[in-house]
Amino acid sequence: MSDLRITEAFLYMDYLCFRALCCKGPPPARPEYDLVCIGLTGSGKTSLLSKLCSESPENVVSTTGFSIKAVPFQNAILNVKELGGADNIRKYWSRYYQGSQGVIFVLDSASSEDDLETARNELHSALQHPQLCTLPFLILANHQDKPAARSVQELQSKSSTEARIGAETVVVCWSKEVENVGQQVSE
């Protein structure tokens, strides 16, 4: 745990003690939301979530199966279930959708045309899934720092999500500079 996180924890504990002694009790609990994070292998799901959790990027290992991370924001906590993106794992994604209140779809904006087509198909499948079709989607166009990265306009024109065009939020990002994502999610 970093020194900054430890300092924040002590300040928060001091605040809770002050509120308990001098006021009417502890502050209201932050609401928690359960999200599912999906995307192909190598799209940057694990790196983005690690960055949002203030974890060291050196410890990032590609997810096999799934992992759950609590991503704290000022007004809420997002419990993100990250699902591995390998071919042999994607067929099981739908088993983990139940109870989700939102979807984060991460795509590699610098991937090959074949991988982009596969990502597009997986996105369409998720958009049409009965357990996800009514939920908010956040689509993250990752790896924008790579020379082959496509713009959001290029990705949207190739995406052609007829049923829900405009319903999704597309955020351009790269895992080394993820502050833009945190700001978008907290809004």
Sorted by where each begins, the domain ranges of the chain are 1-29, 31-186
pLDDT in tens, 135-170: 888 888 888 788 888 877 777 766 655 444 344 555
The answer to whether 81 is a known ligand-binding residue is no
In whole angstroms, what is the distance from residue 95 CA to residue 45 CA?
19
Q: Into which CATH architecture does domain 31-186 fall?
A: 3-Layer(aba) Sandwich (3.40)
Residues 38, 103 contacting (CB under 8 angstroms): yes
pLDDT in tens, 91-120: 999 999 999 999 999 988 888 989 989 998
The answer to whether 41 is a known ligand-binding residue is yes
pLDDT in tens, 39-72: 999 988 988 888 888 887 777 777 888 889 999 8
Q: Pinpoint the alpha helices (H) of the chain.
A: 3-22, 45-52, 87-90, 113-128, 152-159, 179-186
The answer to whether 46 is a known ligand-binding residue is yes
What count of residues does the chain have? 187
pTM here is 0.75
The answer to whether 87 is a known ligand-binding residue is no
Per-residue tokens: 118? 């596969």
**pLDDT attached to residue 166:** 44
The answer to whether 45 is a known ligand-binding residue is yes
The answer to whether 48 is a known ligand-binding residue is no
Rg over CA atoms, the chain: 18
pLDDT in tens, 6-36: 666 666 666 666 656 666 666 668 899 999 9
The answer to whether 63 is a known ligand-binding residue is yes
> Which residue type does 121 have?
N
